[in-house]
Structures are given as C-alpha cells and as structure tokens.
Amino acid sequence: MINQLVSAQQLMDKELLQRLFKIAEDYRTNHPDDYPKLLKHKILASLFYEPSTRTRLSFETAVMRLSGRILTAENALGTSSAVKGESIEDTIRVMNGYVDGIIMRHPEVGSAKRAASMATVPFFNAGDGGGEHPTQALLDMYTIFRSKQSFDGLNIALVGDLLHSRTMHSLLQLLSMYKVNFYLVSPTALQLPDEFTSLLKNAGTHYEKRERWDDIAGQIDVVYSNRIQAERFDDRAVYEKLKDSFCITKETMKSVKKDMILMNPLPRVSEILPEVDDDPRAIYFEQSKNGVYARMALLTEIYG
C-alpha cells in the first residue's frame, strides 16, 4: 500500500492498476448517492502553486464525492506564506497538523519529493514543474484500458513537448510495464530527457524518436498529444518558434486507424483543432472526466 504518491514509479504494479481500474469502474456505474462515505470527517488540502483546472477540481470533486472536505490554496505562490519566503518543507510541516492529506502542485521539479519527505499524512503530487504528474498517468492508463482492454501490442505515439510534458513522463513509466511500441514525436529541441529514455531502455521497451508521425499515422493505436509547455521556456523566442510544431486536424484524422484513440491531458491550445472534437476517436473530454473516477479509486485505495 502506498500513502505517498510522488512518482508514477510507485504505481508500477499491474495488480494495483487493475484493482484501481475496477474501483474506478464501479464508481462510474454507481449513483453518487450510493458512494461510500469513506472520507467522512476527513479534510484534505489542495496546495496549488501553479495554475490548474482539471487536476485540482477533479481531485476536489473526488474528495467531496467520498464525503471528505477540502481546503484550497489556489495560486498559493501568490497568496500563501510562500510570498513571504516560507519553504515548502515548513508549509508541509504546518499542514500536517491541519489536514488528513495534501494534494500539491508546484512549478519546481523535485518539489513533490521534498514535500513528501516532510509529510506525515498522505501526499499526492499533482505536478512538479516539468517533472511528473502521476495521478494524471493513472487516469490516462484507465482511459486507454477502457478503450483497448489491454496494453500489450499497442503502438503509442507521444506527440509534442516531450522534454517538459510531465504527464508523458509519468505515463510512459506505467506503459513501460507492458509490451508497447513507443513513437516519441517531438522537435529535436524538445526530446524526451535522458532519464526517461534510460528508463525505457532498462525496461526493454521498443521506442523510436521522430520529428513527425504522418508517415506512420496508419499504424498508431493511441496518439497522446500535449501542448508545447510555454511556461517552461526561458527563452520566449524559442517557444514562439516551436509552439505550432504539431497540429491535428480533420484531415489528419482521415489518415489514422478507425479505432485509434486521440488523447490529450488538456488544456489544448493549437495542437488539436476544435474541428476534431466531434470525431468519436477524440476522447480527451472523456479522459478528463475519467480523472474523477481514477482519483476516487486512488483515494479509496489509500484511505479505504
């Protein structure tokens, strides 16, 4: 049993994933009135030092669906004592005394590990800069599983800013437990960091680095795209040059498999045109909804 989730590595257990998918599926099919009051009398804090829509609100929905309560520090970099120079470590020590769990997003890579080392209550990394985003990986795996029923044999293209995309960094770890083929599609300047390619190598996972995917479009089972992560660039000019590297259009969808699924953790900027949204293979809004069930499952595993 885990009580701190810092990296997707901690979810690298096929049985655990299957159990979580099953719980998520049960929540999906049950009426909210029938949900267990698992978090009754529990208070969780969401400490967000970086913008978020889906992660914070779906986590908070998940907590409240299980009868827990939430304390939110949104825009915590601007409104909490971080402004006065308080360290993450001190903030977490204080929160330990207030709440029964901490959900944190912070712009620095490694911040989640530092925070978790001080937490005496369950801790959830909701994104540490361009590092990891393990709960997103859980809902992404759940989404793939619902569509494909299995992971082995899938051809998966990760398309976009592989250097900075924390959702991809976490997702590829979980997928590396299975026999998937990865196409790592990015501009050269935004390739996957070495630590993650090493991880794929060590897992014996087949991967190919590429700059485009149109020539292999007909072979891909899952396209996972993500915006170029503007906030991670030191040089705005570099971002401007790369921001429109990929754009999936109605035309693109004509060249892909009939049962391909198109995922995106959202927000979507220019990497998928809205004209694609009505295509049944475009499942990103469904994917974001799965975030509530997947996070409810995780909370159930930890507090149940």
Query: Which residues of the chain form contacts with ligand NCD (CB under 6 A)?
Result: 54-55, 127, 133, 136, 166-167, 226-227, 265-267
The single residue of 42, 56, 65, 105 carrying the catalytic annotation is 105
Does residue 93 carry a catalytic annotation? no
**CB 252 to ligand NCD: min, Å:** 19
Report the residue number, 7 or 167, with the smaller CB distance to ligand NCD: 167
Does residue 55 carry a catalytic annotation? yes
The single residue of 28, 54, 69, 212 carrying the catalytic annotation is 54
Report the residue number, 153 or 267, with the smaller CB distance to ligand NCD: 267
**CB 269 to ligand NCD: min, Å:** 8
Does residue 84 carry a catalytic annotation? yes
Report the residue number, 4 or 136, with the smaller CB distance to ligand NCD: 136
Q: Between the CA of residue 296 and those of 65, 253, 264, what are the distances in Å?
A: 8, 33, 21
Which two three-digit tokens encode residue 251?
């035309």
Q: Which residue is nearest to ligand NCD (CB)?
A: 265
Are 135 and 295 in contact by the 8 Å Cβ rule? The answer is yes
Q: Count other C-beta atoms under 10 Å from residue 298's C-beta.
A: 24
Written as one letter, the residue type at 145 is F
Written as one letter, the residue type at 243 is K
**CB 55 to ligand NCD: min, Å:** 4
DSSP state of 60: H
Q: Per residue, what are the HEC states of 241-253?
A: HHCCCCCECHHHH
Report the residue number, 135 or 300, with the smaller CB distance to ligand NCD: 135
Report the residue number, 100 or 286, with the smaller CB distance to ligand NCD: 286
Q: In what order do the strands lie in the sheet with 222-225?
A: 206-210, 181-185, 155-159, 222-225, 261-263
Cα–Cα dist 228/212, whole Å: 15
Are 232 and 129 in contact by the 8 Å Cβ rule? The answer is yes
**CB 59 to ligand NCD: min, Å:** 10
Which two three-digit tokens encode residue 55?
């992660």
The single residue of 31, 41, 84, 254 carrying the catalytic annotation is 84
**CB 166 to ligand NCD: min, Å:** 5
Q: How many residues does the chain have?
A: 304
Report the residue number, 44 or 272, with the smaller CB distance to ligand NCD: 272
**CB 206 to ligand NCD: min, Å:** 26
Does residue 41 carry a catalytic annotation? no
Place of tokens 């979580």: 20
Check the CA dihedral 273-278-280-284 and report its sign.
positive
Does residue 105 carry a catalytic annotation? yes
287: Cα separation from own chain's centroid: 10
Q: ∠ CA(16), CA(21), CA(24), 5° rounding?
A: 125
The single residue of 55, 205, 252, 300 carrying the catalytic annotation is 55
Q: Which residues are the active-site residues?
A: 54-55, 84, 105, 133
